[in-house]
Amino acid sequence: MQSPTIRSSASPHPPFNALLDARRSLEEAEGLRRARQFDRAQRILEKLLHKHPDYVGALHTIGLILADRGQYQRALPPLIQASMLNPNDWTTLTALGGVYLQLGAKEMAALTLERALALKPGDASILLSLAEVYREEREYELAADAFIRVREIDPSLYACDMGLGLVYIQLGLFAEAAAAFERLLSRAPASAESLYLLSQLPAAQSTLDPQALLKRLSAQPKDQAAASASLIAAATAAALDQMGQHPEAWESAMAANRYPAKQHREGCRREREEQAESLAHARSYHPKSLASNQDAPLSLFILGPSRSGKTTLEALSALFPDVKRGYENPILEMVTRRAFQSAGLLTTSRLSQLPPVLDSLCRGYYEEELRRRAGNARVFTNTTPALIHDALRIAAVLPNVRFVFIRRDLEDICLRIFLRQYTEGNHYAYDLTTIREHVTWYYEMADLVAAKLPDISMTIDYEQLVAAPQAVLGDLAAMLGLPAPEGALPQVGDDRGCAKPYREFMAATVPG
């Protein structure tokens, strides 16, 4: 069968003057784009494309303009068309990969950027975009390697050190994260984001000097936008907390949370409704049977509220042979969406809403993706806190799963959440009353799941993990069927009792 041809309303052989005119118009539009005069640039390009619908340069540039404006859905068609007309243009592929990433199409972003990198090996812009894809996919080791390669090519890129610092935090390499953020602060005016991230690093493991950080924070302009002012106040609270100046730290924390508490009020209301629905469902749900496939890698879900100690336990579990860390991995949400889409249903990532008739389809997608991510490992961890909503369905749909629920002293965890600023979600996190409600709900959900799935779940206290990590790992080894790690364990950070100096302030804020 003959392949379809791409048709254009333009003349197949435009005169030479028309070529020159089109090129001059494209160069003018690109100059305006770089000057961020998007409206003028876009008008020029739209006229060009009206005369020459297959002008790849105009399609590419108008796609860039729409992406620059944050209109990613509109940027997609011209970039796809440009790539269709010239599939070997690595610049278009790079732009297209970036748009895919912004739209949450991480698989397509990775495929597109890897194709661009094959055409242009060692290009910093492609590597940087690919590193961001790996970071979004929680493939932190791959992301770190890509960011390091970018630094070797162009050490001046702000996005590279920012991404590298964020990745190092996830890998527990706090000294390296501090160095990345310091590089940012040394060559550009101090940003609220960089200072805040620096304040979140544990001083003992990152050589952070909280007094020097406080001096930097004090020098920040007082007329910043509300979001930046909140970050500065939160960073100030963290520095004062590390210095033991608790009344001043509390005052800064209260100031930091005023603005985000207002911004997240509606989200907090929706969270309450969703939590009530999940709790009612968990109370009435009785698993009839558990999914089984002993050939699949074991999925270990380490679940607990934010700041409960999940990352600490996951890092220790990685000391076992044949365990690969998945961090807060998006694998389950991704395959759930794929199952809904394949069945012609509306897209959702909530496994609890999956019709039972689709269980085997979703299970097949999960096993395939799990093997790809786990590699040769026998156990793959996942610490995504929101999966508590779907834990009972996870046991019924996915093969070979285990749950570890981690708890922590209520006052300690409420304080640590209150002292943090989140990039997204966690709408409850800026008011002590809603924080307490959320944590209490989470513990009740965990207790319900553990009671209904006693053979594949266990509960660990953060305080027990810090006091006796070897004993905790012994219990975990027994559940996983793995030999316990030998030799001395790495030092576990001890944050027990952190709320003690703040109890009076907390009680005054939330009586009773």
Task: Output the pLDDT for position 241.
Answer: 96
d(CA 75, CA 68): 9
- pLDDT per residue as tens, the chain (512 positions): 343 444 444 455 666 677 888 999 999 999 999 999 999 999 999 999 999 999 999 999 999 999 999 999 999 999 999 999 999 999 999 999 999 999 989 889 999 999 999 999 989 999 999 999 999 999 999 999 999 999 999 998 889 999 999 999 999 999 999 999 989 888 766 788 999 999 999 877 777 789 989 998 988 888 889 999 999 999 999 999 999 999 999 999 999 999 999 999 999 999 999 999 999 999 998 877 776 777 889 999 999 999 999 999 999 999 998 999 999 999 999 999 999 999 999 989 999 899 999 999 999 999 999 999 999 999 999 999 999 999 999 999 999 999 999 999 999 999 999 999 998 889 999 999 999 999 999 999 999 999 999 999 999 999 999 999 999 999 999 999 999 888 788 888 899 999 999 999 999 987 65
Does the pTM surpass 0.75? The reply is yes
Q: Are 437 and 251 in contact (CB under 8 A)?
A: no
Q: Minimal CA–CA distance to 196: which of 204, 205, 435, 208?
A: 208
d(CA 254, CA 422): 15
d(CA 202, CA 465): 18
DSSP 295: T
Domain architecture of the chain: domains with CATH: 189-263 (no CATH), 269-509 (3.40.50.300)
The string of DSSP letters for 449-509 reads: HHHH-GGGEEEEEHHHHHH-HHHHHHHHHHHHT-PPPPSPPPPPP--TTTTGGGHHHHHHH
Task: Output the pLDDT for position 421.
Answer: 96
d(CA 337, CA 348): 5
d(CA 281, CA 160): 44
CA dist 187 → 159, 170, 180, 182, 300 (Å): 13, 24, 11, 9, 42
DSSP 191: P
d(CA 98, CA 281): 39
Q: Are 164 and 144 in contact (CB under 8 A)?
A: yes
Task: Output the pLDDT for position 485.
Answer: 83
d(CA 247, CA 81): 59
Task: Output the pLDDT for position 240.
Answer: 96
d(CA 496, CA 322): 30
d(CA 504, CA 246): 11
Q: CA angle at residue 350 from 347 to 355, to 5 degrees? A: 80
Which residues lie closer than 8 Å to 48 by C-beta, 6 or more apart? 22, 25, 26, 29, 55, 58
Which residues lie closer than 8 Å to 122 by C-beta, 6 or more apart? 149, 153
3-class DSSP assignment, residue 240:
helix
Task: Output the pLDDT for position 188.
Answer: 66
Number of other residues whose CB lies within 10 A of the CB of residue 411: 18
Q: Minimal CA–CA distance to 506: which of 253, 320, 256, 138?
A: 253
